[in-house]
Amino acid sequence: MKKRSGWSSITSPIKKSSGSGLCQGSLPGNGFNQKEKPEDQKRRNKDLIGRVRVVDADGDDVTPRPLVCPVPGFQKSLDELFFSIPKLSSSHPIGPTQDSLNAEIEDIFLGQTHPPPQLFKKGDDAEQHAREKMVGECDYISLTETETITFLDIPPTIISVADDDAEAVIQRNLSYAELCKSRMCSDKYIDRSMQTLNGALKNKLTQSEKTGTAGKGMAATNWDIYDSLYKQNETFEGEEADHKEKSVSSRSNTTDTDNTISSLSEMQICGSILNPESEPEKEILLPELLTNISCFMERTVVLDAFQANLAAYRQLPISEGSDRMAKHGKHSEESLDPTLELLWAFTCELTRGYCITSMAWNRQNPDILAVGYADFDSRCLKPGLICCWTIKNIMWPERVFHCHSSVTSLDFSANDQLAVGMFDGTVAIYNICIQDSSVACVASSSKSSRRHLHPVWQVTWTAKRLELSLADVLVSVSSDGRIAKWSIRSHDLDSTDLMWFRSDKEFKEAAENLKKKKMVLSKPNAVCVDFHPTDFGIYLAGTQEGLIHKSSFSEGHSFLATYKKHIGSVNHIEWSPFSPDVFLSCSSDETVQMWKQGRPVMTFKSIHQGPVFFAKWSPNCSTMFGVVKEDQVEIWDLNLSIVFPTIVHHAEPGVRLTSLLFARGTDCVLVGDSGGQVTVYKLKNFRVGESKQLNKMRQKIGQMLPCLMSLHFCCHIQMMNIIIKHHNSVAGVMDGLWGSRPVQKDHGAH
């Protein structure tokens, strides 16, 4: 064993035994003490009287402080202990000394002290001498570190190339490689095999609980992921919803999400089982779902059934199933004359027996048509009807509104409000998005103090220029002599008069003129009004006397101009949508008059007698307009003829034609009759005029009519508008031009 210079009297190795640390230190095993006895004895027996002091080379006191607070009697006993140890060890064998030592230590702790002199007396004299000698002298202990003890040293097999031995190593490697190569053939080496003995294996068994597994397969489709994410977000919002609904919908959700095609049969079985339980819950959801579906289905089916007709309406080529030709609508069998081709009729049981008074297209959705029905047979305030039809479903109207009085006129505003004028003087505004008839009526003038008391013959929306935008203003015309402008306040309408007819003088004059005719005038009043399409605020009003007044919003009760041409009541006035100063007027005196710049330029009169109810311009063609008489509808095309209507279509016997409407964007015309039917006709074989052709015509007319005053050209969608100044002399020339056709005669003084 190496000699170690410990720190002080307390040696380093620690062994566990009973007793405190201090004592432990001194106890290390008698083995130590036995061997070190002769040398250490001197070292240890330093200062018997004083404390043990350790001093290093510099003279500093580096005595370690005791771990335990020394008890006064304890010190002494420690010294005794020092003595006793060698003493005991020398006299007695190892084994029992331990026990006696232990006993002694215990005695020390208990506070008993053995009489030290006993030990002294027993002990060696030599020791004592040595001890006495050593008193006062310092023992020098040198503390040094041991050398580093290496337990394991595995040198690396890689050395750097820059190392000193590198070359030698490289050489060795090379030689070894050569050796390996030559190994095969040389006799120096013999192959031998070795067996490694594996240690015996020992089996050890353990037991654990079986981890449960379950297999689940899902087809994670794109929509599945999206739905799960959406459902997650929705759960917070949907918690307040009806639980029943949620349960049904969630059930159906689960059926869809877990529904790979393989598990379908399972689902069907589940479905039939679920059915009896969930009947009441499903009843809640079904009607809502079904409404949508059935609506859609109806449209699909109807579209299918009437596909050819609707395609013709939309000017689409017709599908293979039919025998029609798809090009230009020309038939080899039929004649090439322009004619009206019947497509379909908007009619249903609800509307049978009603008389159609007005029709209007929705401005936002050109497929929606509003039709106003009136029951005029009994001449009393019978409830009227408004139906909103759509091209997509021609079998049944989308909306049916029942009104308390017969509907006399309709108009759609630019923002989807439907204004309705009724026979009892009520003006109402409907919101067609709502199904329920009572709720759909957004505003009504029935409670207004300034409402009309007589039938409202026309309602129209017009734009009024505000500071920044255009607002829609509702204007109505009624038999009580007022043209009123309405404003909407909450649910009521309130009116302000735009014009007011009162003059008695005019009435008398007109009455004299009319004595020849069978007209009856009660009071001078306006029957129709039309606002200028571009020049906001200017409007024309036609009266029952045959006068047309031009006025504007700002004018108040005076007129800008008055046009007298008609003898009978002016039934309808319309500005031309293409030309800004041309308008058309029709009256009960069987004529239709075209005016330009306030002067009547052309009069149209067909052979057939009868008051003209409507004369409307076609929105597609600038030279075309339609005229409705009681039993026929006429389509005039000024390109082809200015004397005769291009098409004359007779009504069925027993039915009066009452209303006319052109379809925008397509060459169809709608005719309403007194049987509650709106018939849709397609204008066949009408040639869309080209500019070249019109030029030719213009030249032709120009040659023939030297007194041509103005030729007005309005190039709009390839159309041109020809207006020929009507003059007496012109009539004669035209007589010659067109042969023996009847001459138009001027009516009236102007």
Partner 1 sequence: MGEEVEAQMKRIEATKGVIGTLVVDPDGVPIRSTLDQSMTLQYAGQLRQLVILARSAVRDIDPQNDLSALRVRSKSNEIIVVTALVYIQSPSKV
Residues that bind partner 1 (CB under 8 A): 221-223, 225-227, 230, 234, 238, 248-249, 251-253, 255-256, 259, 261, 264, 267-268, 270-272, 274-275, 282, 286-287, 289-298, 300-302, 304-305, 395-396
Other C-beta atoms closer than 10 Å to the C-beta of 245 total 14
When the beta carbons of 67 and 297 are compared against partner 1, the nearer one is: 297
* Shortest Å, Cβ 271 to partner 1: 3
SS (H, E, C) 308-366: HHHHHHCCCCCCCCCCCCCCCCCCCCCCCCCEEEEEEEECCHHHCCCEEEEEEECCCCC
Question: Whole-number minimum distance, CB 236 to partner 1, in Å?
Answer: 14
- What is the spatial distance between Cα 551 and Cα 535, in angstroms, rounded to a whole number? 12
| Residue carrying structure tokens 């109402």 | 428
CB of 579 to partner 1, least distance (A): 38
Shorter beta-carbon distance to partner 1: residue 295 or 714: 295
- Whose CA is closest to 683, among 716, 650, 635? 635
Of the pair 66, 238, the CB lying nearest partner 1 is at 238
Distance of closest approach, residue 320 Cβ to partner 1, in angstroms? 12
Residue 304 CB, nearest approach to partner 1 (Å): 7
Residue closer to partner 1, measured from CB, 274 or 697: 274
**What's the min distance (Å) between Cβ of 314 and partner 1?**
19
Nearer to partner 1, 284 or 380 (CB): 284
Rounded distance, CA 63 to CA 445, Å? Answer: 117
CB of 412 to partner 1, least distance (A): 18
Least spacing, CB of residue 257 vs partner 1, in Å: 11
The residues, ordered by sequence, that sit 6+ positions from 91 with a Cβ below 8 Å of its Cβ are 122
Residues with Cβ within 8 Å of residue 581, at least 6 apart in sequence: 596, 597, 598
The smaller minimum CB distance to partner 1, of residues 252 and 666, is found at 252
Q: Which two tokens stand for residue 171?
A: 């050489």
Alpha helices, DSSP H only, in 464-619?
A: 504-513
Q: How far apart are CA 316 and CA 305, in angstroms?
A: 16
Nearer to partner 1, 115 or 287 (CB): 287
- If the CB atoms of residues 248 and 538 are measured against partner 1, the closer one turns out to be 248
Q: How many CA atoms lie within 13 A of 250 on its CB side?
A: 13
Q: Which of 424, 429, 518 is nearest to 480 (CA)?
A: 424
Cα–Cα distance list, 6 to 29, 411, 726 (Å): 15, 119, 144
Containing 681, the helix (H) or strand (E) segment is strand 678-684
Residues paired with residue 604 on neighbouring β-strands, in sequence order: 592
Q: Which of 426, 569, 572, 455 is nearest to 511 (CA)?
A: 569
In contact, 88 and 101? CB cutoff 8 Å: yes
Helix axes 72-91, 30-44, angle to 10 degrees: 120
Q: What one-letter code names the amino acid at 604?
A: F
648 within 8 A of 659, measured Cβ to Cβ: no
- In the complex, the smallest distance separating the C-beta of residue 303 from partner 1, rounded to whole angstroms, is 10
Comparing CB distances to partner 1, the nearer of 99 and 266 is 266
Shortest separation between residue 220's beta carbon and partner 1, angstroms: 11
Bridge-partner residues for 719, per DSSP?
Answer: 716
Looking at the Cβ atoms of 310 and 657, the one nearer to partner 1 is 310
Main-chain phi, psi angles of 292, to 5 degrees = -60, -50
In the bound complex, what is the minimum distance in angstroms from residue 234's beta carbon to partner 1? 8
Report in angstroms the alpha-carbon separations of 659 from 194, 476, 503, 527: 117, 19, 31, 16
Token readout for 464 is: 């009024």
Residue 601 C-beta: closest distance to partner 1, Å: 47
Minimum CB separation from partner 1 for residue 322, in Å?
13
Shortest distance, CB of residue 243 to partner 1, whole angstroms? 14
Tokens for 258, please give them: 């877990």
Helices (H), 678-750: 691-704, 728-738
Residue 20 or residue 365: which is nearer to partner 1 going by CB? 365
Q: Which is nearer to partner 1, 125 or 240 (CB)?
A: 240
Could you write out the DSSP letters of every residue in 231-253? HHHHHHHHTTS-HHHHHHHHHHH
| Least gap, CB of 433 to partner 1 (angstroms) | 9
Q: Output 312 or 660, the one with its CB closest to partner 1.
A: 312
Decide whether 177 or 301 has the Cβ nearer to partner 1: 301
Q: Which is nearer to partner 1, 118 or 263 (CB)?
A: 263
Label each residue of 628-671 as H, E or C: EECCEEEEEECCCCCCCCCEEEECCCCCCEEEEEECCCCCEEEE
Taking the complex as a whole, how short is the minimal distance between the CB of residue 315 and partner 1, in angstroms?
Answer: 24
For 129-141, the DSSP string reads HHHHHHTTPPPP-
Closer to partner 1 by CB, 119 or 295: give it: 295
